[in-house]
Amino acid sequence: MTTPISEQTETEIQAAAFRRLVAHLQEHTEVQNIDLMNLAGFCRNCLSKWYRAEAAERGIDIPDPEARERIYGMPYEDWKARYQTGPKQ
């Protein structure tokens, strides 16, 4: 049995889940984008591109660096310098 949910409530639930996913990825900087890509087929950069695309659908132009900062929680270059590691051997 499915609990009926209004479209507005569904959108709010989806937005909250997205925010939790982004917060989780920001907290778990040890998880590298390549690992995400290999396991899940998407990474932080994909999320930033999807974010930009959805904004564009609504007539809002968000530059790539700004979209990445929203996902990474800091400028992308800073994140790379702090947390990105080389290939695992």
Which phi-psi region, left, alpha or beta, contains residue 38 (left: φ > 0; alpha: ψ -120 to 50)?
A: alpha
- CATH code where residue 47 lies: 1.10.3340.10
pTM of the model: 0.86
Domain annotation covers residue 71: yes
Domain annotation covers residue 1: no
Domain annotation covers residue 5: no
Higher pLDDT, 88 or 53: 53
The DSSP secondary-structure symbol of 62 reads -
Total domains, the chain: 1
Percentage of the chain exceeding pLDDT 70:
96
pLDDT recorded at residue 88: 59
Question: Which own/partner contact pairs does 13-20 have at CB distance under 8 Å and 24+ positions apart?
Answer: none
Domain annotation covers residue 16: no
Averaged pLDDT score across all residues of the chain? 94
Kindly state the average pLDDT of the residues 62-79: 96
- The residue segments making up the domain with residue 57 are 33-77
Over 60: is that where the pLDDT of 89 sits? no
Q: Which residues contact 73 (CB under 8 A, 6 or more apart)?
A: 22, 26, 79
Domain annotation covers residue 68: yes
**Which residue stretches of 1-89 are H helix?**
7-27, 33-40, 44-57, 64-72, 76-83
